[in-house]
Structure 1
Amino acid sequence: MLVALSLSLAFLLMAYLLGSIPTGYWAGRWLKGIDIREHGSGSTGATNVLRTLGKPAAVTVLAIDMAKGMLAVALVRAWFTWSGLDWIPLAWQPWLIVGAATGAVLGHSKSILLNFSGGKSVATSLGVLWVMNPWLALGTLGSFLVMLALTRIVSLSSITGAVAVNVLVLLLHQPLPYFLFSLGAGSYVIVRHQSNIQRLRQGTEPKLGQKLPTPAESQ
């Protein structure tokens, strides 16, 4: 039991550290010598990178942020599949997968390398869903893309995806740990978008490719 507990904690720490890799922040430093948290929305995510650094940087950051989440969960699943060892009880395994997914999501938004700041966890959440259940990921991505096509507002599309994943996890009859993850992660993504929700209500939320209005312009 002590070995199982130690391995579980190691997986959770590994997932958090993977999520903490500050891709958007490093892109700002390397490409323009700036702290991206001092520009645009202050997020290190791909949307703010797009506004601040341009499309190539945004696509790269998006891909790496998704990969962080994918790798965090894939490493746990690979251990179960290929280790051939029964050090972690079978009943723990779905919970450990969800724990790794949660660690990666929290790491992205509360990176230990950025004094516990970061992005809004949308891309990393999608990454963990790809490994947990590709149908969940496809459905969530589909709802995001439909809303984006209709409104061209990334934040609204992200919130739509956060709601849709909870519907999908029920329709696909996913296990309880996955349901709890979708509920928690979806709620967390929405909470991380509170400033966007305020701008949506005020009608000042920028569309895809637009910059945030300055304080004077938003009054």
Structure 2
Amino acid sequence: MGLFLIKILLVIIIGYLLGSLNTSIVVGKIYGTDIRKHGSGNAGMTNTLRTLGKTAAVLVIIGDIIKGVLSYIIGNLIITSIPDDSIKLYISGMGGMVGGIAAIAGHNWPIYFGFKGGKGILTSFSVVMMMDWKLGLILLGLFVIIVAITRYVSLGSILACVAFPIAAAIKGNGLVFIIFAAILSILAIARHNGNIKRLLNGTESKIGEKKKV
């Protein structure tokens, strides 16, 4: 058990440090811009698209997805190296989920950038796809439909996050999976506090239009 806890801590540290490599901030620096000082001020793909354009946004998408995938894979590799088969059976997939959640936390509160990061949606999506790709595609479909109807990226992200643990329970995923799905969703939704207020006030920007004042 002591070895297990040490490895869990190692997974958290690695996942967090990888997640802290906030791609939008790094890409912004390449463009000579601090993305957090422009547009909505959020260090994420949507604000990068509005501020720096499509090429920069694509780079952010790739980077945010890669760090989520790597954190998940590394987490599973570290945890499943425990020699006790009964423990491995009990914690199947837990290493990846722990690493993924840590990466999302790192993206949201990056140690390299003053703990001021993004909202973690792309990284969250990559972790969801690693956890259960079929469920991930369902949530992606829900996101696309909501955005297509309302043109609110934030609303699509929030509702997809709300649906994640619910869909996991309906689909019959295990209790550990559902708990991690709920934690992931709470992390993402909490970062959308400002968006929720603007949606309720009718001041949230729609995709394709400039940020409302």
Asked if these proteins are the same fold (TM beyond 0.5), I'd say yes
| Displacement of 1:7 | 2.2
Asked whether 1:135 is paired with 2:134, we answer: yes
In 1: Cα distance, 2:11 partner to 2:79 partner: 12
2:177 matches 1:194: no
Map of 1:150-165 to 2, 5 A cutoff? Answer: 150-165=149-164
Name the CA distance, whole Å, in 1 between partners of 2:91 and 2:168.
20
Shift of 1:113: 0.7
Unpaired segments ≥5 residues, structure 2: none
Residues 4 and 87 in structure 1, CA contact (< 8 A), matched pair in contact too: no
The CA distance in 2 between the partners of 1:101 and 1:201, in whole Å, is 31
> Please, what TM-score do these two structures have when normalized by structure 2?
0.91
Partners of 1:98 and 1:177 within 8 A in 2: no
1:217 is aligned to none
Cα root mean square deviation, aligned: 1.8
SS at match of 1:59: helix
Q: Residue in 2 aligned with 1:28?
A: 28
Distance 1:22 1:100 in 2: 16
For each residue in 1:19-73, what CA deviation from the matched residue of structure 2 results, as whole angstroms up to 9, or x when unmatched? Answer: 1111101111111x12111111111110110111111111220121122111111
One-letter amino acid of the counterpart of residue 66, structure 2: A
C-alpha distance in structure 2 between counterparts of 1:204 and 1:56, whole Å:
27
2:11 alignment partner in structure 1: 11
Deviations 1:93-137 (A, max 9, x none): 443332212101101101001111101011111011111110121
Written as runs of structure 1 = structure 2, the 5 A alignment for 1:197-208 is 197-208=196-207
Whole-angstrom CA distance in 2 between matches of 1:66 and 1:136: 17
Displacement, 1:150?
0.7
Q: SS state of the match for residue 91, structure 2?
A: helix
Q: Which of structure 1's runs of 4+ aligned residues deviate more than 4 A?
A: none
| Alpha carbons 1:25, 1:35 under 8 Å: kept | yes
Q: Deviations over 1:59-94 (max 9, x none)?
A: 22012112211111112234566x5x5168322344
The offset of 1:14, in angstroms, is: 0.6
How much identity, in percent, do the aligned residues show? 37
The one-character-per-residue Cα deviations of 1:174-216 (angstroms, maximum 9, x if unpaired) are: 11121111112212212211111111112121111322123xx
- Count of aligned positions: 211
- Out of 155-164 and 4-13, give the one that drifted further: 4-13
Residue identity matched to 2:42: S
User: Counterparts in 2 of 1:104-143, with a 5 A limit?
Assistant: 104-143=103-142
**Match for residue 178 of structure 1?**
177
1:45 aligned to 2:27? Answer: no
